[in-house]
Structure 1
Amino acid sequence: MPLKHRTAVVIWSVVATLVAAIALASAVLVWRGEREANAEAEDRAARFISGAEAALNRSLLGVDVVLAGMGELLESAVRPDRTLDAATATRLLRGVEHRNLMMRNLLVLGPDGRVVAAAQPESGRMGLPLMPEFVQGVLQQPAPQMAISRPLLNFTTSERSLYFARPLQLPDGTRGVAVAEMPVSLMATLLAPAAEVPGLQVTLERDDGRLLAAVPANELRMGERLEPPLAGAALNGKPMRTAGRLDGEPAIVLARPTLYSSVMVAASIPLAAALREYAHERLVILSVAAAFALFIVGVGGLTHWHFAGLERARREIAQSKTVLDQALGAMTDGFLLCDAQDRVLAWNGRYVELFPWLKDVIAPGVPFLQLAEAGAQALVPHGDEAARKAWVDMRLAIRRKGHGMYELDWGNGIVIDAVERPTPDGGTVTVIRDITAGERELARAKAAAEAANESKSRFLAAMSHEMRTPLNAVLGMNRLMLKTPLTDEQRRYAQMIRSSGQALLELINDILDLSKVEAGRMGLEIVDFSPAAVVENVVSLLTPRAQSKSLTLDLHLPRGLPPALRGDPTRLRQVLLNLVGNALKFTEQGGVEVKVSHRPAAEGKVELSIAVRDSGIGIAPEALSKLFERFVQADDSTARRYGGTGLGLAISAEIVNLMGGRIQVHSQAGAGSTFEVVLALPPGDASQLAPVDAVQETMPAPLAGGLHILVAEDNDVNQILIQALLKDMGHHCDIVDNGRDAVRKVQHGHYDLVLMDIQMPEMDGDAATRAIRSLPGAAAHVPVIALTANAMLEDRETYLRSGMDDYVLKPVNPGQLSAAIARVVG
């Protein structure tokens, strides 16, 4: 598969994986949220129905006790002839009715259903709305028990009431009926707490399905038979998903019987009402997930476009190089390259054609002096030894100047022009040309190659800025979201989004490093550093990752390790982070061991060896040869299982090679791997050690009082992020959205520090900083930190030259920003 196709597959596989992860996380969050909302509704209904059942039982039992004691109550109203004194009975009933707030009337009915005595005299005159069948049913009970009527309209009050009846032995020996009237409105007060549960509907029903009372009130269906009647397993008080008792809509229904089997209470919460409070949260989750998915797809498209452009630039450079090689091989100019000891390294056929006397002399390793002596023999054939030696001395004198030019006239119209230039490693390159032949084609090819390389550099700089700016918003907003109250599931999935964003940032950094290597722009910052501190820092950073996989991570430092060496500790740390990180990633059991050793090397240097040994999956022999190639992993199954782009080892190998060292691997499939980095470094000064930069992710403690900081940033989201970061650090900030306003603010206000974005409207950050430095008075000396998504090394140097004091790269790391502020303000 061509490289560009493999790259596209990798990019869109990553995009698809991230989008699928977001979709899955959103679906799980929505499902969990709905389930929790339903569970909360069920819990509310269960708590309510339990309380409602207890309240109803107390009320019904109180009514039953009153009715059961009516015979004993009326004993004092019996005349000697065993007839009932109506006036005395009325007074007694009224006393009981006044003591019981839930009853509006107490009555005694004769066997014919007529009122014998009543607490309310109107009932005696107007009668009761009770059906004769109900009264006869009570009188004919084989065992006395309380019966409840359906809601009936009271003639005197014009409102619905429930009538509770129980058989009674009258003084004259006949059977009568004791009746208690309870208004439906009073009965509904027992169910009134239902109004506190949104959407809850409560019904009091008889065993035949007759509706006795309802909350909210439903006059139209009062006394109507509800289908199906509640019975059997439906009365266990457990939530059921069925039709609501009043509106028939899908609902959560719970039902409980009272102490009186003919009466039961039911609670219904429509499913739509149960989920109503969760609807907004669900909309937020889906909106955020959709925004992240669209962003990732957009980043994937930009990355694909970037790689396509990078591949085009690479093809153009390769094509230019091929053309240049072909031109060098076919051109009429002669070419000779010698090393620092002035011994022959390479030449082309044209060189021998121009100097045919060298055909049997020239060879790799032959000293240039021998070529000059052969030339003297050919060009001064009639001279003596002294003349030929003088010519050799003249030729060597020109060569020692390092930029010599001379001409040789063959006397037949051909003039040979020689140009000599030193190489960076101390060697010499010589170009011999026939000055009668033009050299325009070669110059044109060289200019094209340089233009293509410059175009690629501009493209990479632009892509780095455009990708880091939205990624700063994603990671920053994610960091702010993680500081808010979240459920465990929400926090876990938010951390998954953060990990995915960090993986994307690492991919962008790898691509930039790769482009720097290809363009020859990856430089080394040679300083004095402690090798032990660098290795210990890497191990301490990756120890939590090892602990999360239950792996050991051991470090072995030898005695006598030099306290200081000279080299680039940042690049060495990058290589070790990659090697130890890979070892942990590909190890499931056992652990990883980092072993450092050293020994003397030539020219007073120290050969530093760092070996990383793991007990992981190992590498097959056929895969070792391509291990350090770009975008290549040991096999496709490794990429699918463990992820990655295959850039880490390739970049590490380039860095080690740039340091003049070597990286080697020993591995066996299923038996682990050992990667070893060997560097020859000169000793350093222990009193001038460079600090080891640790990647800080945690927010520093807020400062007392804080600083007054001006932030110049034109992106709305980034303004919110930097303001939140500075607030957490204990600082106060003002925000402007262009460089011109930043200069004006500094000129008229007192600030302890300026955080300056680079690409802004009206005036960019570079020009704004130069303008601040030209202000009169103390304002010209305010510290300025570049806060930018431009990640190229030359960008940093440009900003520092413009007068900025430090440089922080987007996406902004809180620890790095805090450290930069401490450096420039301290």
Structure 2
Amino acid sequence: LENTEFNLLSMMYDVANILAFKAEEKGLELSCFIDPYIDPFVIGDPLRIRQVLINLTNNSLKFTEKGEVSIRGTLKEDLGNRFSLWFSVRDTGIGIPEEKLDKIFESFSQADTSTTRRFGGTGLRLSISRTLVEMMGGSLSVSSVEGKWSEFKFFIYLEKQASDSVSRKDIDIDLSTKNILIVDDNKTNRDILRQQLLKWKCKVVEAESGKAALAKMREAVDSMSPFNLAIVDLQMPAMDGLDFGRLVKSDDDLKSTILVLLSSVTNKGEIDTSKNIGSSRYLSKPLKQSDLYNCLMAMFYRESKSEKILETVSEPTGIIDGVKILLTEDNLINQKVAVKILEKSHHKVACANNGEEAVKMLEADHYDLVLMDCQMPVMDGYEATKLIRSKPEISAIPIIALTASALKGDREKCIEAGMDDYLTKPLKREELNMMLSKWANKKHKQ
């Protein structure tokens, strides 16, 4: 097991961002929340925690056709220099029959054969997740009501970073003079925003629709305490965020309120429209605490120094020298191109010609990261990744897919197999370096 410093917030939001496309494709709300009173600067095994959360969230997304999937982190017990945390993934999916709950973690066990035919199975994913949690000294359980919801929940112990740790920088601000309105039809999203804003001492009011929000805004004006800012979901029934924004900005009594629109990752084409109606910011869901913080600082204070407060909780951007990489690629020309790029950046590279070789090499030696071609003879990248994820001793290594296709659904297929990210071929130096910056830094600096 790894025992390194990392930021719990960054790790959890990373999980949500990886799977946000899949949630959006199915029309599901995907939310991510960690209790704002939990110190996010911890010591533990971020890659294995992350893998368990990806496994559980992927599973929930697969078996949920409408509604939402929520990832949460809450305090179980504070033990001084360490604490135990609850992590949970809850969905509004098909649920699990009570008589099947005890068997759900068995390898290849399915709740129902008809369900397996309809949705596909969980394979080894849940069994692997339980093994990884137990390796970290915790326990994984499930509760469910058939036809309504399921919740997978586990706890683990994490150490707290020292108060003088170089990676530590607390986000502690006082916005007690600010009145903020949350407008979202999804209660889970409202709860997450409310708890974070209350931590920063904001005065918070919620509305579940545009119509209700307009009424609350007029009441606030009449009571001489207008809202300074409204955080508005773009996609709501009856009145969406854009229509709401137009009404607010056309009303002389309301138009001074700052508007911040929230939307799913694939709706960024509407940014220009949101600006045209007077929106000051456009933020993507699942909303990161750091993005919300920087938005509030920019809207209320516009001080350059405030932007720097969050630099230490953002992902590092510099390439690290000497990353040990396993390149799995059957095409010798592609191998040579990738090796040349990697060695020029001072990384150590070993090559495997197919997935079977890659698995054997990972079992025999330590690597920091795998670049995995998807289409190969003997064993392709998808099967190799599934096999790697089934072996606890090597399961946490970051795996970046290399694919010749950029068609819709390719990313989802890679993530479904257990890969962390993907690049399209032919490889471009800048894109490859950016990917290494993202994932090698996680391995080295978390």
TM range (shorter): 0.3 to 0.5
Larger-Rg structure = 1
TM-score by length of 2: 0.44
**Higher strand fraction: Structure 1 or Structure 2?**
2
